[in-house]
Chains A and B, each alone.
Chain A
Amino acid sequence: MATKTAAPEPATQVSRRREPGSGWSGVRGLIIHLGLITFALIMIYPLLWMLSASFKPITEVFANSSLIPTDWDWGNYADGWTSTPHPFHRYIFNSMVIVAGAVVGNLLSCSMAAYAFARLKFPLRGPLFGVMLATIMLPIHVVIIPQYILFNNLGWVDTFWPLIVPKFLAVDAFFIFLMVQFIRGLPRELDEASQIDGCSYWGTYLRVVMPLCMPALATTSIFTFIWTWNDFYSQLIYLNSLEMRTVPLALRWFMDSQGQTNWGALFAMSIVAIGPIFGFFLAGQKYLVRGIATTGIK
């Protein structure tokens, strides 16, 4: 049964040669590839340009439009790292704390709610599930003002709590939905077997369902990481003081205060800001595939 989840991937690799003969091949294939490569280059050219500009001395950023700097200069990184009120690793640390809290919170609270919705019977399950689905699409802008007032009254403004605590309360309903879908695909017999063997519901959740949910948990972690790391809106609202700033807030400060004169350093810090996302995406992609593969083998 569990192989079901894994089946589409390998199968599609091999057997999908739709419309035999009309797949791209020969000269046509070459043209298509050239077109795709050109387009891909145009798409990511801005990123490459920013990367190269981050290594160029200020005088060269606009004068030399070649992608390869005449001499590689790490000065922008050193400069950017120290020209914010705190050294830049302070902001990276702050972002990391929030991200770590958000990931742990989402993994715990969303998987718990998902297990209940997918496996347990209780009154009002249908309506509650409907409410949960509806909240996925709810714009944050509608609830942010009372949330701010609430956290302000709790004295939590300018701390990390407003950014972390909601994650422990399963506010990101999208992930609940994702995990519900995943758990529904797992064979129920495993749950029942574990309960006959004396597991409580919590035991089943911890020892049977969660281990099988690894791919869904990985997806949740990756997306929570990326979304929280990129998040600007709520951090802008809740964090004011210099030492509480996160990477996006520090970048914005940098841009406003000296961005017009020190582009090289600003680009360098921008690269630092998006680097972890690329890293996490590449590492995560691998993990995702492996996660699917291991469940498939089971």
Chain B
Amino acid sequence: MTDKEVAVAPPTERDSGEPTGPAETPASPSGRRVHRGFGRSKRSRERWAALSFLAPWLIGMVAITVGPMIASLYLSFTDYGLIGDANWVGLENYERMLDDSRLHNSFWVTVRYVFISVPLQLALALALAMVLDRGVRGLPIYRSVFYLPSLVGSSVAIAIMWRQIFGTEGLVNDALGLFSIEGRGWTSDPETALGTLIILNVWTFGSPMVIFLAGLRQIPQMYYEAAKVDGAGPVRRFLNVTVPLLTPIIFFNLVLQIINAFQSFTQAFIVSGGDGAPADSTMVYTLYLYQRAFTSFDMGYASALAWLLLVIIALFTTLNFLMSKYWVFYGD
């Protein structure tokens, strides 16, 4: 059976490697049979069908994803500036990075942003998921309310709101005033501006919380019963049953949120007014990249920055995976 298929199928599809020809064109004598399906050319028919279903994705992958990735790598070795030609400059852009103090600053700003906000966000998400998981009435309502900030957290409207809340006359200072603590312009003070962005990211803890909730439901009841029989109290049950079984979900959230946080842009752009103000204290990496690429049209250098970002994210993700061996528990 299979031998026949292999023997017959190749001519029809090898000849027509181009995606132009429709499936039914070859071999007019057997054309009828092709239409009937289920004959010897079913396999080739299936391949042509697959090609037609995948065509948009394939074009997109080549033209919009993988192509630009390679182009970006090439551009990073040129001095391209949108107008004029791209001249090969070798490693110049990468050497320039070494002396670019604004870049170094933006890197550390981003690292602080990511590694402070993500753990706080996940801790809050896990804590609430734990509380909600234990049979609270009105769970769907709580879940929706806590999820709301995640829905809108990356929007311009919320960033505008944030800028106002943490402004000199904002809500936060009003609240502090109640305890007669003197406030300040949180977003205009270089000491605290990044902090407001971190809080904004923590505020969107709803989406990892929903994932934690789903993960908690996967933990089989019998483990808790067994632990109870063995005399484990609530704390021991949490530490020795819930946490170990939840580590894959914690890990998943950690990887996802770190990757996301490295790429966040809108909040920093709006809260800082587009330039990382005050004093570059909110100049996250993506914002600096945007400025180099689309304000200065320094596209060669910006491409190098983009690739560095990819490498940084890949490195941290790899590191995350390597460390996961020591703390993530995959059952059995």
Q: Which residues of A contact B (CB under 8 A)?
A: 8, 12, 16-19, 22-24, 29, 32-33, 35-36, 39-40, 43-47, 49-50, 62, 65, 108-110, 112-113, 115-117, 120-123, 125, 128, 131-132, 135, 137-150, 152, 166, 168-171, 176, 195, 200-202, 205, 226, 229-230, 232-233, 236-237, 247-248, 251-252, 255-256, 259, 263, 266-267, 269-271, 273-274, 277-278, 281, 285
Contacts and interface: CB of A to CB of B under 8 A. Distances in A.
A125 B43 CA distance: 14
Interface pairs A-B: 10 shortest CB-CB: A169-B60, A146-B68, A23-B135, A270-B157, A146-B71, A201-B49, A116-B53, A122-B50, A170-B57, A113-B57
Given A141-B309, A232-B269, A49 B263 contact: no
A205 B46 CA distance: 13
Contacts of B306: 139, 141-142, 144-145
B224 interface: yes
A117 B163 CA distance: 45
A142 B61 contact: no
B246 interface: no
Given A251-B156, A252-B156, A274-B152, A22 B134 contact: yes
Given A17-B135, A142-B72, A135 B49 contact: no
A266 B224 CA distance: 52
Task: Count chain A CB atoms within 10 A of each CB in B37, B53, B144, B156 and give the residue with the most.
Answer: B156
Given A109-B57, A274-B158, A46 B37 contact: no
Contacts of A29: 136-137
Given A109-B57, A233-B266, A12 B49 contact: no
B146 A43 contact: yes
B270 A24 contact: no
B76 to A, nearest CB: 9
B303 interface: yes
A142 B136 contact: no
B217 interface: yes
B262 interface: yes
Nearest to B162: A46
A233 B57 contact: no
A154 B318 CA distance: 38
A247 B160 CA distance: 13
Nearest to A195: B37
Contacts of B259: 137, 139
A143 B50 contact: no
B117 interface: no
Contact of B49 (A141, A168, A200): A200
A139 B262 contact: yes
Given A32-B131, A113-B56, A141-B289, 10 more contacts: A23-B135, A40-B142, A120-B46, A120-B53, A132-B57, A139-B310, A143-B64, A146-B69, A229-B155, A232-B266
8 contacts: A18-B224, A47-B148, A47-B161, A116-B53, A121-B47, A139-B313, A146-B75, A232-B155
